[in-house]
Structure 1
Amino acid sequence: MASKIAVAKTICTTIAIATLTACSSGTSQGTDPKVPPPVSSTATITNPAGKSLPIEAYEMTNDQYQKVDGALMTLQVSCMKRFGFDYRPYAAPATGPNGPDRNGRRYGPVDLAAAAQYGYHRSDALQSTSLPSTPKMSDAMLSVLGSGGGPQAAATTPVTYNGIAVPKGGCAGEAENKLGIAGKDLGMHDVAAQINADGFSHSLNDDRVKSAFAAWSGCMKANGYDYSTPNDAANDRRWGASPTPTPTEIATATADVRCKQQANIVGIWFSVESAYEEQMIDQHAPELAQVKNNINEALRNAAAIVGSAN
């Protein structure tokens, strides 16, 4: 059963094989800037993998996520054992959306070798970052695990089970309370996630990025492809019709990458998006400072919990 942390940790894509696009928690925490922020310098970037956007300083890294989620699972297992359940939660993947290469597909295909092999499809390595499926649980286990265990555990938590009082929110709720994360933003939803989404959205409407897209579009047209933006190419419906890339898709993706490099699309886009994020970070400094405190507290508690369990 996926934890609350794991459920919140979701990648949004326009379609399964396409580029990463903005997604939000549904809570409008971002801004609608009246004046586009200045960009002090524009980097020349061909591949954004390994490069960090400003808001990532307020989001858990994959390693931090592993530590907090591991402690959460330890607490859930211990609680479920009190009720006689042999609860075996999923094992979180070693790599995931917040790994070191998290931005490698943010602006669509950027690597010539990968484009020549996968086109606009996602590689096996990228596909493996999704959370594993979990074994089906009985209704009794779900009810004792409680609403903190994710959407499948949304049933009302019983007051008792086999004569033992069930904690508020079930074992998942107890685990979150002991870890000190119940109801707290750990950078995976609310303000940090919204800024991550809004920065991307604002960059798409920025004249500097639109100008770069126009240069990219002209390059693509010179190569026989008629697309206004890189997202239009990535989201071409033809690519979703086949489980594997077609020769046309590979040729298009390869031209896409070459034209991105020629117009410095990634460098301009990354620099502009970073400027929007920095503007919103300044405007939401108190909330983001609290997110940082929440993450640090969760990590301290996780270390103590795992240490006491060994």
Structure 2
Amino acid sequence: MRRAAALLLVLTSALALAACDRQAGPASPGDRGRLPLAEYDMPEDDVRVVGTARWTLAKECMVRLGFDRLRDLDIDPLPGWPRRPAGTGVVSLVVYASDDFRYGVQDPEQAARYGYQAARVDYERHYREKKWTLPEYLALTGEFVGDDPKSVHGHLVPKRGCLGEADRAIHGTVPQDRKDPVLDLGAESLEQGKRDRAWKKADRAWSACMRRAGHRYATPTDAASDPDRDREELEENLTDPEYDLNQPSAAEKKTATADARCKRRTGYVRTVHAVDVRIQNKLIASNRAKLEDQRRWNRDAARRARDILADRS
């Protein structure tokens, strides 16, 4: 299971770019246990080693590009995926995803506190947010928009930035450019699962419970991403200078709490998890070769990361 990861959507009037923070890795098993595909994912200890080596190399690259002040950059805890600084003509939307919330919110107390944003809170708990200047951001990520300069301090920014250069040293390529069968099959399992008769029955039972609580949603996904609720909240708070999109509203908390309670009352997670496990086992059986290749790829990356850190100790 993967800990919360940030999916950074950078939007402009002309184009959309996407970056995925692949530092995130397996989280501790939930009350339903690990999913079968987790056996082919990178173990959490290796994720930490790879992340440390990645940022160690990125720091060296940044100093080479002329950012001397980053020579002593603290990477414990690891920084999160860099965000483009505000006021640079680009709107950034960050979406957080985690296997701990694969079936949505489950803990009523957590939902009452964080609404549908517990994945963000989990991510921020493990990865430190840091403010970057635009030149630093561009040098780290190589994510150029419009007329962004492709060089800094007279040095050409490496492809995918210093983090991309570090990834190539550890993985042989940038992970975002390589198909990850664990991710792909995990998404396919969800798609198939939601079409399964037992899963649909669980959705109906959950939906009926939500109606009794005053909320009309067909599925938990609908409740978590309700555009009408989001629009109403934005319109109500647009003139509030202290309004923070990252803070859940009272309406969101109320909905999320009812959502989690209905999952418990109807046995929702137990049912859909069983369907998920069954489908994943079938997908593994028909994709074992590529999954074993991914596991070897992960192990090789972790070995190279340990060698990189050993050389600098």
Normalization by structure 1: what TM-score?
A: 0.65
Going by fraction, where is strand more abundant, 1 or 2?
Answer: 2
Residue aligning to 1:132: 129
- 1:55 aligned to 2:59? no
Residue aligning to 2:261: 258
- 1:114 aligned to 2:98? no
Query: Could you list the runs of 5+ residues in structure 1 that have no partner in the other structure?
Result: 1-8, 14-22, 26-46
How far did 1:167 drift?
8.4
Give, as a single letter, the amino acid of the residue that structure 1 aligns with 2:107: D
Select which of 195, 198, 201 maps to 2:188: 198
Percent identity over the alignment is 28
- 1:287 aligned to 2:290? yes
Residue aligning to 1:67: 49
Residue aligning to 2:60: 78
The alignment's C-alpha RMSD in Å is: 4.3
Q: Distance in 1 between matches of 2:110 and 2:159?
A: 49
Contact 1:157 1:169 in 2 (8 A): no
| DSSP-derived class of the 1:151 partner | coil
Give, as a single letter, the amino acid of the residue that structure 2 aligns with 1:128: E
Cα deviation, 1:44-68, whole Å, max 9, x if unaligned, reads: xxx9468322222222244322211
How far did 1:213 drift?
1.2
Normalization by structure 2: what TM-score?
A: 0.65
Greater mean alpha carbon deviation, residues 183-192 or residues 270-279: 183-192
Q: Distance in 2 between matches of 1:238 and 1:227?
A: 12
Residue aligning to 2:241: none
Residue aligning to 1:91: 75
Residue aligning to 1:226: 216
How far did 1:116 drift?
2.9
Residue aligning to 1:20: none
Q: Please give the residue correspondences for 1:1-310 in structure 2 after superposition, counting only pairs within 5 Å.
A: 10-11=6-7, 48=30, 51-81=33-63, 85-86=67-68, 88=70, 91=75, 93=77, 102-122=98-118, 125-126=121-122, 128=124, 132-136=129-133, 138=135, 149-152=141-144, 175-179=166-170, 181-183=171-173, 189-240=179-230, 241=233, 243-246=247-250, 248-310=251-313
Cα deviation, 1:212-268, whole Å, max 9, x if unaligned, reads: 11122222233333322222222233542164332x544443332232122211011
How far did 1:173 drift?
6.1
Structure number with bigger Rg: 1
Q: Distance in 1 between matches of 2:157 and 2:219?
A: 54
The structure whose RCO (Cα within 8 Å, separation 6+) is larger is: 1
Contact 1:111 1:257 in 2 (8 A): yes
**Paired residue total:** 259
Cα deviation, 1:247-300, whole Å, max 9, x if unaligned, reads: x54444333223212221101111111222222222221111111111111111
Q: Structure 1 stretches (4+) deviating beyond 6 angstroms? A: 153-158, 165-170
